[in-house]
Amino acid sequence: MNNIPQRLLRIDCCAVSDAMDKLGFQDRVASGLEQRATTQRIAGRVVTYRLVAAADAPPATGAPRHLGTTAIELASPGDVIVVEQRTGIDAGSWGGILTLGAKVKGIAGVVAEGPVRDIDEARACGFPVYCRSLTARTARGRVAEVEVNGVVTIGGVRVRAGDYVIADASGVAFIPAVDVLRVLDAAEGIASREAAMAKDLLAHQPITQVMGTDYEHMLR
């Protein structure tokens, strides 16, 4: 299954979304998470962490660890870090030093349900960041990490560590690990049919004919 990210990168988020519709899966696409640092599509296995308001976090024990660092250490090259920061507090869920650490580790990118800071640093090193908003405000004293590799909620989608994600300019789709091969097979079939439609259009077939016979029945 180590070729799954490569297969995902050959299609796009729309094809994956259509495939999940075709298979009757619940909606697992998060919209509004914008490409902030690059225009690069990313795909990979998910590593998660979740943040809460600092006032709601349990007392820390042991040596202090900055948020996100455990996820980076647990991640393998090609993984995607997915972070939940839905507190409503304007504070970074990801920042510049984390970006550099993830880039050095070979992590594919980050998807953040919440604000990200130091975006210029991510742009400078070409590290893909998808997030809800940007901020200059530090997490220190504002938010705290309470769980790594647990369940997070991104755009209303519940995401588990070990799931798969594909993100591009259209959206971010999360695929349960148990279903990823079925979704990939369906998505590749859809992408192949769309490529054939494009070929027909380039051959000057009428668009009403192409889209009427193929597109409208794509998900059957």
- Tell whether the model's pLDDT for residue 141 goes beyond 60: yes
Q: Is residue 85 part of a domain?
A: yes
Q: What pLDDT is attached to residue 42?
A: 98
CATH for 97? 3.50.30.40
- Tell whether the model's pLDDT for residue 137 goes beyond 70: yes
pLDDT mean over 195-211 = 87
Q: Is residue 42 part of a domain?
A: yes
Q: What pLDDT is attached to residue 62?
A: 77
Q: Is residue 98 part of a domain?
A: yes
Parent domain of 130: 4-182
pLDDT mean over 66-93 = 97
Q: What percent of the chain has pLDDT over 70?
A: 95
Q: How many domains, in total, are found in the chain?
A: 1
DSSP string, the chain: -TTHHHHHHTS-HHHHHHHHHHTTPPP-EE---EE-S----EEEEEEEEEEEEGGGSPPP-SS---TTHHHHHHPPTT-EEEEE--SS----SS-HHHHHHHHHHT--EEEEEEEE--HHHHHHHT--EEEEEE----STTTEEEEEESS-EEETTEEE-TT-EEEEETTEEEEE-GGGHHHHHHHHHHHHHHHHHHHHHHHTT--HHHHHHHTGGGTT-
Counted residue by residue, the chain has a size of: 220
Q: Is residue 199 part of a domain?
A: no
Instruction: Say how far residue 19 (Cα) sits from the centre of its chain.
Output: 17
Q: What pLDDT is attached to residue 213?
A: 60
Q: Is residue 188 part of a domain?
A: no
Q: What pLDDT is attached to residue 214?
A: 58
Q: Is residue 194 part of a domain?
A: no
pLDDT 10s digits, 151-166: 999 999 999 999 999 9
Reported as a pLDDT band with limits 50, 70 and 90, residue 2 is: low
**CB environment 94-116: b (16+ within 10 A), e (fewer):** bbbebbbebbeeebbbbbbbbbb
Q: Is residue 119 part of a domain?
A: yes
Q: Is residue 125 part of a domain?
A: yes
Q: What pLDDT is attached to residue 217?
A: 62
